[in-house]
């Protein structure tokens, strides 16, 4: 292992025993999910039979929404960008506000028509095969990136916890295997029950770090003094271009994260509306605990370790925790708790995304286009095999990522730039009856292609910036997407309206 | 057409039934306050005012513009939570939303149940 620029925590065997115990509990919950299944059906496997009450629903939403990336990637971004990254708190709250715009209608439809995946709604609403297939491909593209990002975070976390005794790839393989086993055993029910443990760990861990940061040493004022000395620009408010980046982040992440398919499937999995409403109300406050914490970790880390490189700064959470752990035995075990929370956050997000991918590939592509008459048992088998195959491919990609210098943030960007192209279909689709299938398809294709062109052009050196004027490619694509959706839908209504007018005038004449 | 207990809407999808079923009794986006409040909080929380200089002063270890942004974030959380709990009403799915009624009607109980396994 190369020399670390920050203090690594020297974890003893006790911490590793705690982690091993945690993994055993995960497997036990997977088995419990298996024996608690009500029937062999896609709804039972992928939505837990829509049986989750307030506690399970809130904790599974929480553990799924806040990933390893929140505590590792966001903190790194805060380190690199400075306080302007406080926008992350706002866009994570905005995610729940956006859900308030379309979830009431989508939840109602899911209850009446039994949706299992978001693409069920897309096909029901628009009746277009190409639109359904493209939606699934874009969502799976985003989710695959999401899982890959979690695998990379897993490797870093296990390496940190074991003090390098367990290598990056060994950590990835170990946690991925545990995840696949409990997910294949009980599907969403197992995943949600493990989320309860993982979400509780994450909440407790976040609380411990927040307390540590604010109470230890000089707290924020001391960090600010150090940042002012070494990187004064990172205390500055955004300038004109940075304000556009701020707004672009609000749009890209506030809208993009709000349509995560695994989050939508948790809406479908609610036992009753009251639990769902209360869970979402609680979720609206969670960014003030978790995302704000990540921003503060980056800020305090900037004061403590001012000279980290881009890739090193992705580990700033580990370094800050390392500096906290040196104090006392209590601090040491608090850090163990936090790192267990980080691992839990990573696993809970990855398993949910993997399950969601398996459900969409099985229900929305395999069933209608490969084997229409497949039995329930066959479909469940196909879904599980697909999950294992996807995971194998992503582990290979995580290994490849070891050889590259890509920062976690780049992966997030790639994910959301494409997923956000589904916003018109889901948000506008539940509100505007005149929104046509061909307009939706044209918008989605136009938005995706223009986003790709901006990315490829920047990579090929045709232009320097893939975020022209500070606005990300995905937001430009979304703007084109929306314009096409609205313009084409209105244009297509004109001939029908004109024909109707002429019939009316004919009958009068 | 119903495949394995799952609706495959195909050629038989009924647009009318979808639009008849889609609207809850009340929803946040249909209120007069939710979307304007969200937009107002996002606007005030965006630190465009920091370029004027008055909000760059430090307070408790962070610049004032960061505190303003966080306060607006907290406000957005509050508005969203109130919208979720108070402005989203659907007696068909949640019998307790039917104001002034004791127990749910059989029809409400039936529609609240899952239709597809």
Quote the percentage of chain B above a pLDDT of 90: 47
Across the interface, whether the CB atoms of B13 and A93 are under 8 A apart is answered no
Give the C-alpha separation, B23 to B45, whole Å: 32
**Do residues A72 and A158 make contact, with C-beta atoms less than 8 angstroms apart?**
no
Q: Is B76 exposed, middle or buried (0-12, 13-18, 19+ CB in 10 A)?
A: buried
Both tokens of A311, joined, read 């890739």
Question: How many angstroms separate the Cα of B101 from the Cα of each of A20, B65, B95?
Answer: 52, 48, 9
Q: What is the pLDDT of residue B61?
A: 85
Which of chain A's residues have a Cβ under 8 Å away from the Cβ of B74?
Answer: 288
Please give, one letter per residue, the 3-state secondary structure of A276-344: HHHHHHHHCCHHHCHHHHHHHHHHHHHHHCCCCCHHHHCCHHHHHHHHHHCCCHHHHHHHHHHHHHHHH
Tokens matching residue A495: 């001939």
Closest alpha carbon within chain B to A249: B46
Express as a percent the part of chain B with pLDDT over 70. Answer: 71
How many Å apart are CA B58 and CA B72, to the nearest integer?
A: 18
Q: Which residue has the higher pLDDT, A498 or B43?
A: B43
Distances (CA, A) of A309 to A79, B58, B67: 10, 27, 28
Return the HEC string of A31-77: HHHHHCCCCCCHHHHHHCCCCECHHHHHHHHHHHHCCHHHHCHHHHH
Q: What is the mean pLDDT of each run of 10 residues along chain A (509 residues)?
A: 55 79 90 88 88 92 83 87 94 97 96 93 93 95 88 81 82 91 91 87 80 72 86 85 93 95 94 95 94 91 84 79 71 77 83 93 94 90 94 86 59 77 96 95 96 85 86 95 97 70 51
Given CB atoms, is B57 within the 8 Å cutoff of chain A? no
Two structure tokens written together for A228: 């002012």
- Taking the Cβ of residue B102 and every Cβ of chain A, the question of whether any pair is shorter than 8 Å is answered with no
Distance from CA of A168 to the nearest CA of B (A): 36
Report the candidate in B100, B83, B82 with the shortest Cα–Cα distance to residue B91.
B100
H helix intervals, A216-237: 219-230
Candidates A284, A366, A434: best to mutate against B (most CBs of B within 10 A) is: A284
Decide if B31 touches A, using CB distance below 8 A: no
pLDDT at site A253: 94
Check residue A501 and give its pLDDT.
Answer: 58
pLDDT of B6: 45
**CB atoms A239 and B51 under 8 Å:** yes
Residue numbers in B near A430 (CB within 8 A): 22
Q: What confidence score (pLDDT) does residue B55 get?
A: 67
The pTM of the whole model exceeds 0.95: no
Give me the pLDDT at residue B97, please.
76
pLDDT tens readout for residues B48-60: 887 777 667 888 8
Residue A133: how many other CB atoms lie within 10 Å: 17
Radius of gyration over alpha carbons of chain B, in Å? Answer: 22
Element (H, E) at A146: helix A129-161
């Amino acid at each position: 292992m190369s020399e670390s620029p920050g203090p690594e925590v020297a974890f003893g065997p006790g911490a590793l025993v705690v982690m091993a115990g945690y993994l055993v509990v995960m497997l036990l919950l997977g088995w419990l999910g298996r024996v608690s299944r009500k029937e062999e059906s896609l709804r039972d496997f992928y939505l837990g039979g829509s049986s989750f009450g307030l506690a399970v629903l809130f904790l599974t939403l929480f553990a799924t929404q806040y990933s390893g990336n929140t505590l590792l990637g966001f903190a790194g971004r805060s380190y690199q960008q400075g306080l302007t990254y406080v926008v992350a708190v706002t866009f994570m709250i905005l995610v729940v506000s956006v859900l308030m715009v379309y979830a009431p209608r989508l939840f109602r439809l899911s209850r009446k028509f039994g949706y299992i995946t978001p693409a069920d709604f897309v096909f029901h609403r628009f009746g277009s095969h190409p639109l359904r297939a493209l939606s699934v491909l874009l969502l799976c593209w985003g989710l695959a990136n999401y899982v890959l990002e979690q695998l990379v975070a897993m490797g870093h976390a296990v390496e940190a916890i074991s003090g390098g005794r367990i290598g990056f790839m060994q950590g990835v393989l170990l946690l991925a295997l545990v995840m696949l086993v409990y997910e294949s055993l009980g599907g969403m029910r197992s995943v949600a029950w493990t989320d309860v443990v993982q979400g509780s760990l994450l909440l407790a861990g976040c609380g411990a770090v927040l307390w540590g940061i604010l109470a230890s040493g000089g707290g924020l004022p001391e960090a600010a003094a150090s940042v002012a000395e070494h990187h004064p620009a990172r205390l500055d408010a955004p300038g004109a271009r940075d304000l556009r980046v701020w707004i672009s982040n609000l749009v890209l992440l506030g809208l993009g994260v709000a349509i995560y398919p695994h989050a939508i499937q948790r809406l479908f999995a609610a036992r009753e509306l009251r639990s769902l409403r209360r869970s979402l109300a609680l979720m609206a406050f969670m960014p003030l605990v978790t995302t704000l914490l990540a921003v503060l970790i980056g800020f305090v880390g900037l004061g403590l370790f001012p000279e980290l490189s881009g890739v090193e700064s992705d580990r700033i959470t580990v370094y800050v925790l390392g500096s906290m752990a040196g104090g006392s035995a209590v601090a040491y075990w608090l850090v163990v708790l936090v790192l267990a929370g980080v691992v839990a956050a990573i696993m809970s997000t990855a398993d949910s995304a993997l399950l969601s991918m398996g459900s969409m590939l099985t229900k929305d592509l395999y069933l209608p286009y490969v084997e229409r008459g497949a039995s329930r048992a066959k479909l469940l088998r196909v879904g599980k095999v697909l999950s294992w195959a996807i995971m194998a491919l992503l582990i290979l990609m995580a290994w490849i990522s070891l050889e590259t210098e890509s920062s976690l943030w780049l992966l997030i960007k790639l994910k959301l730039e494409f997923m956000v192209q589904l916003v018109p279909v889901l948000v506008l689709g539940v509100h505007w009856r005149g929104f046509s299938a061909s307009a939706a398809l044209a918008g989605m294709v136009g938005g995706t292609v223009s986003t790709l062109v901006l990315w490829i052009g920047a990579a090929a050196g045709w232009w320097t910036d893939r975020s022209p004027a500070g606005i990300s490619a995905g937001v430009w694509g979304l703007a084109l997407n929306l314009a096409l959706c609205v313009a084409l839908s209105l244009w297509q209504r004109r001939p029908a309206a004109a024909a109707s007018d002429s019939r009316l005038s004919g009958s009068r004449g | 057409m119903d495949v394995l207990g799952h609706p495959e809407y195909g050629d038989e999808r009924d647009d009318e039934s979808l639009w008849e079923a889609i609207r809850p009794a009340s929803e946040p986006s249909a209120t007069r306050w939710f979307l304007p409040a969200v937009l107002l909080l996002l606007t005030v929380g965006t630190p465009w005012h920091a370029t004027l200089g008055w909000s760059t002063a430090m307070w408790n270890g962070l610049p004032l513009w960061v505190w303003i942004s966080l306060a607006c974030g907290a406000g957005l959380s509050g508005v969203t939570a109130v919208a979720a709990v108070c402005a989203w009403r659907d007696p068909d799915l949640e019998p307790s939303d039917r104001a002034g009624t004791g127990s749910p009607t059989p029809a409400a109980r039936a529609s609240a149940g899952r239709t597809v396994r």
